[in-house]
Structure 1
Amino acid sequence: MLVTFSFLVFSVPEEVRAKPGEDVLLQCNGPTGAAITKIKWEKPDLEDRSVFFFRDNTPYKIYQDPRYHGRVELKDPAMKNGDASVVLKNVKVNDTGVYQCWVTTPNMPGEMLHSVQLVVSEGTTKGHLEQLKEQSKKLHTIEVLLGVGLGLGCLLVVGVACFALRRFVCPKPKSGPV
C-alpha cells in the first residue's frame, strides 16, 4: 500500500505601506504562459464580496464589494507572463488588511498564489505596528491549523478506506468443522 502525504506551506504576507489617497500595487503572478481564466482578489473580512473579480476577460462588479467600485483595475489587462496584479486607487485607512490573490487557469483550479498585508496610515505608530504583527500571527496560526486539520482528515479517510477494503476484499475465514 502506498500512502502519500502532502503538506500545505503558508507564507507570511508581503507588506505594502501607503498613505491615504495613494495608489498601491498588489502584486500576484500566475503561471507564465498559461491562459488565466479567473482572478479573484479577496479581503477575508469582506464576507461574501471580492475586492476584484475577473473572469473570461471581463471584470465583474456584481461580485465586488461596493467600497472598491471604480478603485481596482488590472495592472496589465493583457496579463502578460501571468501577471494578475491589481492597482488599488485612492487607498483609505480602512483598506488596511490582508489581501489574497486566487488565480484559475485551464490546468489549475483556483489556487491562492499570494497574499499582501496592506498598511495605510498617515504615520506608523509602534502600537499600530504591533497590532498588525499580532493579526498576521493569528492568520498564520489559522492557516497552519487548517493545513494540519486537512492533512489529518485525509489520513482518516485513507485509513477508513483501507480498513473497509481489507474487510470486504479479504474476509476472515469461517471457523468450524470441515
Structure 2
Amino acid sequence: MVEAALFLYPQEVSVESGSDVTLPCRAPTDLTAVRWSRPELGSDHYVFFYRDRRLYEEYQHPAYRGRVSLVDRGLEHADASVTLRRASFRDTGTYECVTVSSRGHRKRTSELHLKVSHSGLTAGQTDEGGDTRGHYGLVAPFVVVIVIGSLILWKYKNHVKKSSECPAADEAPELNQSSSAEPVPQ
C-alpha cells in the first residue's frame, strides 16, 4: 500500500497497476462529510461520497464502487483519506477532496494527481488484472477450420486433377476382351 504525505497542492502520487493506494486528505476536526471527485467524471458522479456516517454509493461512479473506503471510518480523527484498491491505468488523473464540518463549512482540503504505471505487469496480463492469453481460445477454432478447409480443398483438387488425367471410357482398351471364346459375364 502506498501512502503519500500532504505537501503542496497539487501533489503527485504514483502507484503500480494492481496495487492499493491511499489518497491523503486531512481536515479540521468535527467532520460530517467528505467528497472525493475527479473533474473528468462530471458533477453527477463521485469517486467517494460519505455523509453523516453513511456511504452514498448511488452517487459513486460505477468504476469506483466497492474499491474505495475511508481510512478513518466514521471521520473521528479528521482524516478524510481514502484507500483505492486495485488501481488501474484508468484511475490516472486529478482527484479533489472536499470536506464539510459540523458547522456546515465546506472546504477543498486536498487536490492531487494520481499516476498509475504499467510496470510490474507480467506477460499476458492487463492493468485490470485480466489475462490476454484467454483470447487465443477465441482465435484457435477459426484457425483449425481454415486449416481443415484448406486440406479438404487441396484433396478435392488433386482428385479432380487425377480424374482428368485418366483416359475416357470410350478411349480405354477393352478390359473384358479375352482370347478365349467364353462369354464374359455382365
Shift of 1:25: 0.2
Structure 2 residue corresponding to 1:98, chosen from 85, 94, 97: 94
Letter of the 2:99 counterpart: V
Deviations 1:11-67 (A, max 9, x none): 5311110111000000001103x2x11110000100120000001100010000000
Shift of 1:80: 3.5
User: TM-score when scaled to structure 1?
Assistant: 0.59
* Equivalent in the alignment of 1:111: 107
Alignment of 1:139-158 (within 5 A): none
Give the Cα separation in 1 of the matches to 2:82 and 2:102.
21
3-state SS, counterpart of residue 37 of structure 1: strand
Higher RCO (C-alpha 8 Å, min separation 6): 1
Letter of the 1:19 counterpart: E
Alignment of 1:16-165 (within 5 A): 16-32=13-29, 34=30, 36-47=31-42, 48-123=44-119
- Higher helix proportion, which one? 1
Give the Cα separation in 2 of the matches to 1:41 and 1:75.
13
Residue segments in structure 2 that go unaligned for 5+ positions in a row: 1-7, 120-186
Identity %: 39
Shift of 1:109: 2.2
Verify the 8 A CA contact 2:32 2:75 in the aligned structure 1: no
Look at both structures and tell me which one has the larger radius of gyration over its CA atoms: 2
* Equivalent in the alignment of 2:136: none
Deviations 1:81-104 (A, max 9, x none): 300000000001010001000000
